[in-house]
């Protein structure tokens, strides 16, 4: 099955980080190692956001989310 | 004749140098070695994985320390720090915020804080690079 552009880029990133199977790295580790800082904070108008400058970024996930898989879902997006 | 041989040797030498590619990342070797030597490939991948984990820990630590300093400096209201945040950029961002109707004033302030923090980090980086360059 042919991969689309996003899947190819995602695979490139995972390869460059040494990821080979689920459980190797957490989403937070992937983000921090890619110069994205992850934090939880009170957000009112959304469940997560990303602010970027150059190759640095801050990813904020709403601290109101209690369900761990949902936090991961928001962070991954 | 001797000159021709020397030229041939030099040509081969440059060719080999080009093939070596000093700037190749370790991750690129993993795929190359996958079929040729799976044992080395597996261990190389493990090294990269642990390097990533270490990088993530260090980055998190640095970020938290910087954030702490940034908040302390902001509370002090140092003039130099205020100068970093160009009001022009702020005005441009407000225009963007208007497109998101669900954003509250608090959200906008928080996004501005994130933006200020990123500007603070990049200014520090620039200063460190200038310092290194001057050495």
| pLDDT tens per residue across span A30-72 | 999 999 999 999 988 889 999 988 888 999 999 999 999 999 9
Question: For residue A9, which residues of chain B lie inside 8 Å, CB to CB?
Answer: none
Same domain, B47 and B102: no
Q: Which of A33, A35, A45 sits opposite B52 (nearest CB)?
A: A33
Q: Which residues pair with A53 in a beta bridge?
A: A56
**Residues B85, B44 share a domain:** no
Q: Which residue of A has its CA nearest to B118?
A: A53
Q: Which one, of B62, B99, B4, B110, lies nearest residue A33 by Cα?
A: B62
Pick from B25, B60, B102: CB nearest A45: B102
Residue A59 confidence (pLDDT): 94
The answer, for B112 touching chain A at a CB cutoff of 8 Å, is: no
State which residues form the domain around B94.
77-135
User: What is the residue-averaged pLDDT of chain A?
Assistant: 90
Q: What is the pLDDT of residue B117?
A: 87
Q: Residue B58 domain-assigned?
A: yes
Q: Which residue has the tokens 């022009």?
A: B88
**Number of structural domains in chain B:** 2
What pLDDT, on the 0 to 100 scale, is given for residue B96?
62
Same-domain pairing of B2 and B58: yes
Q: Is residue B94 part of a domain?
A: yes
| Residue B56 confidence (pLDDT) | 95
Query: What six digits make up the tokens of B62?
Result: 């640095």
The answer to whether residues B55 and B82 belong to one domain is: no
* Max Cα distance, chain A (Å): 41
B40 and B5 share a domain? yes
Same domain, B58 and B23: yes
Pairwise CA distance, residues B107 & B119, whole Å: 18
Predicted confidence at residue B135, as pLDDT, reads: 43
Residue-wise pLDDT tens for chain B (135 aa)? 677 888 888 888 888 877 776 666 766 777 777 777 888 888 888 999 999 999 999 999 999 998 888 888 877 776 666 666 666 666 666 666 666 777 788 888 888 888 888 888 887 877 777 766 544
- What pLDDT shows up at residue B122? 82
**Contact between chains at B111 and A41 (C-beta distance less than 8 A):** no
- A24 close to B (CB below 8 A): yes
pLDDT single digits (tens) A7-18: 999 888 998 899
Query: Containing H/E element for A41?
Result: strand A36-41
β-pairing verdict for A36-41 and A48-53: unpaired
Domain spans of chain A, in order of start: 26-77
- Tens digits of residue pLDDT in B2-32: 778 888 888 888 888 777 766 667 667 777 7
Question: Which residues 36-55 on chain A approach chain B with CB closer than 8 angstroms?
Answer: 37, 41-46, 49, 51-54
3-state helix, strand, coil in chain B (%, to 5): 85, 0, 15
Report the residue from B52, B106, B114 with minimal CB separation from A25. Answer: B52
Residues B58 and B94 in one domain: no
Q: Are residues B43 and B94 in the same domain?
A: no
Higher per-residue confidence, B3 vs A26: A26
B57 in the same domain as B2: yes
Angle, vertex CA A46, rays to CA A25 and CA B66, nearest 5: 55
- Say whether both B38 and B86 belong to one domain: no
């Amino acid at each position: 099955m042919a991969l689309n552009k996003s899947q190819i880029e995602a695979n490139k990133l995972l390869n460059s980080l040494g990821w080979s199977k689920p459980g190797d790295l957490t989403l937070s580790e992937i983000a921090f190692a890619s110069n994205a800082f992850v934090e939880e904070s009170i957000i009112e108008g959304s469940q997560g956001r990303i602010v970027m400058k150059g190759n640095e970024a801050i990813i904020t996930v709403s601290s109101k989310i209690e369900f761990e898989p949902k936090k991961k879902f928001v962070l991954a997006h | 004749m001797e000159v021709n041989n020397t030229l041939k040797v030099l040509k081969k030498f440059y060719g080999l140098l080009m093939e070596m590619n000093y700037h190749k990342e370790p991750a690129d070797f993993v795929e190359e070695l996958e079929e040729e030597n799976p044992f080395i490939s597996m261990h190389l991948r493990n090294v990269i994985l642990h390097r990533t984990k270490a990088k993530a820990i260090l980055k998190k630590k640095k970020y938290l320390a910087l954030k702490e300093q940034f908040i302390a400096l902001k509370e002090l209201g140092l003039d130099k720090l205020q100068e970093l945040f160009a009001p022009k950029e702020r005005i441009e961002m407000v225009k963007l915020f208007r497109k998101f109707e669900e954003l509250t004033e608090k959200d906008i302030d928080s996004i501005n804080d994130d933006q200020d923090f990123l500007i603070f980090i990049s200014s520090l980086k620039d200063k460190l690079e200038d310092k290194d360059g001057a050495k």
